[in-house]
Amino acid sequence: MYCLIVFLFHSFQPLNIFAAHLTGEVGGNVTFHCPVNRQRTIDFVYLQRGEQFVNGFYASKEKLTNTWTNTKFDHENSTVSMYNLNLNHSGTYSCHIRYKDQSEIVESTIILTVTAKYSKPTVTSVCREKNVQFCHVTCSSYSGSPKTQMIVQAVVGNTSSQIWANVVRNEVYNSSSMLYDSFSTAYYNCSSEEIKFSCSVGNVTSDEFSVSICIVVVVIVIVVILCCRRRAGKDRDGTHLHNYRNIKCAKTHSRLSSVCQESMVDERECLQMMSK
């Protein structure tokens, strides 16, 4: 009698045969496949989450009324389709199957992960007006999940280079949408070569853009030098005007000296170039 009771108890235990992983996006759809044996007659097959019934089929019932409104059961394929996903749908689900010719319930686990694709990152680049050597680039992306850091990449010339002086990253959670906004601000030193930037968060990448900061500074210096030379050369016959031009260029020279100090250009080379 004791052995018989143990046998009956064991025969009704669910048999968990495998676990599967399923991924969907917010607003999208997924399909749960319950692994039925089509050579056998099904007594019931259904999907549930925890103790909550989702959708399924019972041979003894013509219609089920307690199904999730965003789901649909396909009897021919023994699948449950779920629509209009949101982050709350993430979790562990289980298929329960029983055949007419046996009492055991076959159970399989399906883990659903719902994510939200971040928006394409937008990029802004700012340089201080009084210090063109020190600039920063900010990348912004919105409404994504899970929480993901923004990555800023830079290429100087034809090679990747670490030019960051400092990188500040921030992920902001929106309690109403349960999604994240991701930001990253990278402070960098300018280069005499062209710098190409791109930002990425998850599998979304921004358009590539480039800056050439110190090249602009050198061009400004050269233009002002040539301007001073031209004016000084034209005014050789007029001492008073010539002196006025020299004074004006001397003031410009002083301003450019500070520009040289603040830029990546060597100050001595810069001043030598202006004195020629």
Residue 56 has pLDDT above 90, yes or no: yes
3-state per-residue secondary structure call for 222-241: HHHHHHHHHHHHHCCCCHHH
DSSP state of 58: E
167 contacts 186 by C-beta, under 8 angstroms: yes
Same domain assignment for residues 31 and 88? yes
**Residue pLDDT, tens place only, 144-156:** 999 999 998 877 7
Q: Which of 169, 195, 211 is where one domain is finished? A: 211
Which pLDDT value is given to residue 197? Answer: 83
Helices (H), ranges, the chain: 2-11, 213-234, 239-262, 267-275
Residue 66 has pLDDT above 70, yes or no: yes
226 φ, ψ (degrees, to nearest 5) = -60, -35
18 contacts 64 by C-beta, under 8 angstroms: no
257 contacts 275 by C-beta, under 8 angstroms: no
Which pLDDT value is given to residue 10? Answer: 39
Which pLDDT value is given to residue 273? Answer: 44
Quick check: bond before 35 cis, omega within 30? Answer: no
What's the mean per-residue pLDDT of the chain?
A: 75
118 contacts 143 by C-beta, under 8 angstroms: yes
Which pLDDT value is given to residue 209? Answer: 81
Same domain assignment for residues 178 and 267? no
Residue 102 has pLDDT above 60, yes or no: yes
Number of domains forming the structure of the chain: 3
Same domain assignment for residues 7 and 106? yes
Residue 100 has pLDDT above 80, yes or no: yes
> Rounded distance, CA 87 to CA 4, Å?
47
Which pLDDT value is given to residue 195? Answer: 78
Which pLDDT value is given to residue 138? Answer: 92
State whether residue 17 is helix, strand or coil: strand
Residue 40 has pLDDT above 80, yes or no: yes
Residue 179 has pLDDT above 70, yes or no: yes
Cα-based angle 153, 156, 157 (whole degrees, multiple of 5):
135
Write down the pTM of the prediction: 0.63
pLDDT band at 65; cut points 50, 70, 90: confident
Q: Which of 62, 81, 115 is where one domain is finished? A: 115
The CATH number of residue 14's host domain is 2.60.40.10
> Rounded distance, CA 139 to CA 149, Å?
11
Same domain assignment for residues 9 and 83? yes
User: Which structural domain, as residue segments, surrounds residue 47?
Assistant: 2-115
